[in-house]
Amino acid sequence: MPASLADITQWLESQTDKELVITKQEDSDLDEVVMRLARVERRGERSDSPDDYTNGASLLLRGNGTVVTEGREEPLPSDAFEIPLEGLSLTETADDAALLVTERAKYEIKVRI
């Protein structure tokens, strides 16, 4: 069932203190983040961002976690995983999963049980 950005935010907030597996697919690149979600923040557009990728509206998932890319596991560079919302075209939620599709990437978020 299609969900709104408010539904996605509410679903994420209900997952606070749970471990999430976030899969980001951008072109042929696939990254996976495992994070214990501490809180969710919604950020409006910014003009002070050093790059175009993070200057628009976004969801910030705050918490400790690791990034798995090309078979290597490394700590998240900061305490946040950012989902840029520019070109958001699809959102869905289920009991233990959410999906966001933007013009740049597809984000699948699952609760690790």
Which tokens hold the place of 67? 């990034």
Greater model confidence, 56 or 107 = 107
Tell me the mean pLDDT in the region 29-41.
95
The predicted-structure confidence for 13-29, as pLDDT tens digits, reads as follows 999 999 999 999 999 88
Q: In the prediction, which pLDDT does 68 show? A: 87
First-last CA distance in the chain: 23
Q: In the prediction, which pLDDT does 45 show? A: 62
Task: Work out the number of other CB atoms within 10 angstroms of the CB of residue 5.
Answer: 14
Three-point CA angle 22, 25, 56, nearest 5°: 85
The predicted-structure confidence for 79-99, as pLDDT tens digits, reads as follows 999 999 999 999 999 999 999
pTM of the model: 0.86
**Alpha helices, DSSP H, located in 1-113:** 5-13
